[in-house]
Amino acid sequence: MTSSEKRGLVPKLRFPEFREAGEWELITLQQASVPVTERVGQRKLTPVSISAGIGFVPQAEKFGRDISGNQYQLYTLVSDGDFVYNKGNSLKFPQGCVYLLQGWGQVAAPNVFICFRLKDGYSNVFFQNCFEQNLHGKQLKKHITSGARSNGLLNISKENFFSVEIPTPSPPEQQKIADCLASLDELITLEAQQLDTLKTHKKGLMQQLFPAEGETLPKLRFPEFRDAGEWHADTLVRIAKFRRGSFPQPYGLPEWYDDENGVPFVQVFDVDENLRLKPKTKNKISKLGAEQSVFIAKGTLIVTLQGSIGRVAITQYDAYIDRTLLIFEEFFKPTERLFFAYVIQNLFEIEKEKAPGGIIKTITKDSLSDFVVRLPSPGEQQKIANFLASLDDLITAKTQKLAALKTHKKGLMQQLFPVLGEVAA
């Protein structure tokens, strides 16, 4: 990299006290850190792996067991404040991910990972945010000559990795940026925790508001319905008429799609978690494709049968439906549509709890037909639906706030660090 290419390493947004501090300096990881290579040996520590977008995860949690085996003693001893580079590629980090160990104390990391510790004068949080922006990946691209090896890892050497350059200001400016982003991370963590609490609360309430399997009454009932008697049981096929969607085969032919003039085409991906579709479908179906698909009007109840099985939505726009979804076309008994959506949602939650690992691998229209569903009076259906909908509104608002905070942080990071193209090798 020539000296002319190194000029202009100044972020668009800078704290007032550093606006006259001059340009940032490009520092290699070799200059800024020392390798961490000490072996675990006889110490009894948690063997960990690294998942992109998550960070450190116990092997027993990720793989269902400890996979260290005879290699355990050769694992690297990693302590809080150390960084670990996982050479495995992922959608989020195609050239591998780097995470800072915090709050674990000490762990055992596979020796195929590259571990390092920053020298004095370099901020852990500042560098972690650089890695979050994938500054390392943009420079490591040129060193990847082929796909992943047989062990799933990229052919990145230690020399290649430690040659990565990070645009770095003075220690006080690093700390100022780190403190700013850390405060945002705290807000994001708090919002995420509150969102998880709301979802857990809703799940617990649904278990109380609907009869348990084999029961005829729910554990929790609104006062005005406590003497209303048992809920009526029937099979799904006797309560509603339903069918699968359809799509011309084979998938992927250009003539089936029309992004400009086509009609929304709903697939599993397009069903959100809040009983709604995403605002826009990933694909739009052409007139030719529509001839072999199934049209549904706005307000139709659907449920996913593949992939993320059991995701339910009441459509908010007209659309054509893929064969991977089930469509409820009509009800044979007095049924409040929103309530029934929660019934189906709860039904699949029960099935997930029965399934190995909490994952339903497959489900068919025929097997659904024999599922037993219990319904109260229309009035009680409406009461329960309105109550759960109010919880969903809170969950949606919290989800949107969390997304806005993440977007704000991403935009702020783009301003607080020099343009990526200026530091790409």
The number of folded domains in the chain is: 2
Report yes or no on 383 lying in a domain.
no
> Within a 13 Å sphere around the CA of 168, how many CA atoms are in the beta-carbon half?
21
Q: What is 138-197 written as a DSSP string?
A: HHHGGG--SS--TTSB----HHHHHT-EEEE--HHHHHHHHHHHHHHHHHHHHHHHHHHH
Using the 3D structure, point to which of 133, 168, 203 is the last residue of a domain: 168
Q: Residue 101 to residues 106, 184, 331, 406: CA-CA distances in angstroms?
A: 9, 19, 54, 21
CA angle centred on 360, ends 359 and 365, rounded to 5°: 165
- Kindly state whether residues 258 and 158 are assigned to the same domain: no
- Kindly state whether residues 244 and 152 are assigned to the same domain: no
DSSP three-state, residue 218: coil
Report yes or no on 381 lying in a domain.
no
Task: With beta carbons less than 8 A apart as the criterion, state whether 169 and 122 touch.
Answer: no
User: What integer pLDDT is reported at residue 99 of this predicted model?
Assistant: 98
CA angle centred on 143, ends 138 and 144, rounded to 5°: 90
The H or E element that residue 288 is part of is helix 287-290
pLDDT tens-digit profile, the chain (425 residues): 344 344 478 999 999 999 999 999 999 999 999 999 999 999 999 999 998 889 999 998 888 888 888 889 999 999 999 999 999 888 899 999 999 999 999 999 999 999 999 999 999 999 999 999 999 999 999 988 765 454 567 889 999 999 999 999 999 999 999 999 999 999 999 999 999 999 999 999 999 999 988 899 999 999 999 999 999 999 999 999 999 999 988 888 999 999 999 999 999 999 998 899 999 999 999 999 999 999 999 999 999 998 888 899 999 999 999 999 999 999 998 999 999 999 999 888 888 777 666 667 677 778 888 889 999 999 999 999 999 999 999 999 999 999 999 999 999 999 999 975 644 44
Using the 3D structure, point to which of 139, 168, 197 is the last residue of a domain: 168
- Say if residue 11 is preceded by a cis peptide, omega within 30 of 0: no
What the block records as the tokens of 322 is 């893929």
- Kindly state whether residues 268 and 147 are assigned to the same domain: no
287-318 confidence digits (pLDDT tens): 999 999 999 999 999 999 988 888 999 999 99
134-167 confidence digits (pLDDT tens): 999 999 999 887 654 545 678 899 999 999 999 9
User: What integer pLDDT is reported at residue 135 of this predicted model?
Assistant: 95
The H or E element that residue 396 is part of is helix 378-416
> Within a 13 Å sphere around the CA of 265, how many CA atoms are in the beta-carbon half?
26
Residue indicated by tokens 């995860």: 57
Among candidate residues 123, 128, 26, the one with its CA nearest the CA of residue 413: 128
- Kindly state whether residues 131 and 51 are assigned to the same domain: yes
CA dist 151 and 389 (Å) reads 47
Tell me the CATH number at 275: 3.90.220.20
Task: With beta carbons less than 8 A apart as the criterion, state whether 21 and 10 touch.
Answer: no
- Kindly state whether residues 239 and 369 are assigned to the same domain: yes
- Kindly state whether residues 240 and 161 are assigned to the same domain: no
Tell me the CATH number at 139: 3.90.220
Report yes or no on 325 lying in a domain.
yes
Report yes or no on 181 lying in a domain.
no
- Kindly state whether residues 243 and 355 are assigned to the same domain: yes
- Kindly state whether residues 238 and 360 are assigned to the same domain: yes
- Kindly state whether residues 158 and 37 are assigned to the same domain: yes
Residue indicated by tokens 């020298």: 119
Report yes or no on 15 lying in a domain.
no
User: What integer pLDDT is reported at residue 411 of this predicted model?
Assistant: 95
Report yes or no on 286 lying in a domain.
yes
Report yes or no on 264 lying in a domain.
yes
The H or E element that residue 206 is part of is helix 171-209
Report yes or no on 49 lying in a domain.
yes
- Kindly state whether residues 44 and 133 are assigned to the same domain: yes
346-393 confidence digits (pLDDT tens): 888 888 777 666 667 677 778 888 889 999 999 999 999 999 999 999
Pairing of strands 106-109, 46-51: parallel
Range of the domain at 70: 26-168
- Kindly state whether residues 370 and 237 are assigned to the same domain: yes
